[in-house]
């Protein structure tokens, strides 16, 4: 890493020893794992806030500072099950118009006024996209989902 002092502030001693252990086994260090080549030992970006050296996640990064906004509603124990799409296309792109979600055993459909942001994590974002018709036709057909967009990389 280019600045060893910065590395020591944000990476635990155990993680740094892990890199050295892998190198001793012949696994080379990869200084730039996000530049298209992810082969080799590396330390990935962390969720440490450099301003105060605390763990950062959705609540302090976004929710706490925006909690009083009138146009923000946070639902707990709710699960988005599908993205809704417009029947017409915008250029060559499909347009998300809202989401369908369940909460308290009931299903709700919410229309977006401006945009739909999908942020469900590494596993659930592709799952939601596929349940909503975005993905490989072969996968979607087997799941009984009508394809909206052919995107095999999902």
User: pTM score, two decimals?
Assistant: 0.63
pLDDT given at position 92: 65
- Reported as type and span, the H/E element at residue 43 is none
- Per-residue pLDDT tens digits for 37-92: 888 988 776 677 767 777 778 888 889 999 999 988 888 899 999 999 987 655 56
The predicted structure's pLDDT at residue 1:
42
Q: Supply the pLDDT for residue 31.
A: 86
Closest CA to 81 of 61, 53, 108: 108
Say if residue 83 is exposed, middle or buried (CB neighbours under 10 Å; 0-12, 13-18, 19+).
Answer: buried
């Amino acid at each position: 890493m280019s600045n060893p002092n910065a590395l020591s502030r944000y990476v635990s001693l155990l993680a740094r020893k892990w890199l050295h252990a892998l190198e001793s086994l012949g696994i080379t260090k990869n200084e730039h794992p996000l530049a298209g080549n992810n082969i080799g030992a590396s330390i990935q970006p962390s969720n440490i806030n450099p301003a105060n050296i605390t763990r950062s996640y959705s609540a302090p990064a976004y929710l706490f500072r925006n909690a009083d906004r009138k146009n923000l509603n946070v639902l707990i124990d709710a699960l988005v099950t599908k993205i809704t799409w417009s029947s017409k296309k915008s250029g060559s792109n499909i347009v998300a118009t809202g989401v369908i979600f369940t909460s308290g055993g009931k299903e709700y459909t919410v229309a977006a006024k401006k945009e739909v942001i999908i942020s469900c994590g590494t596993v659930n974002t592709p799952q939601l996209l596929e349940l909503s018709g975005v993905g490989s036709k072969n996968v979607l057909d087997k799941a009984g989902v009508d394809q909206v967009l052919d995107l095999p990389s999902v």
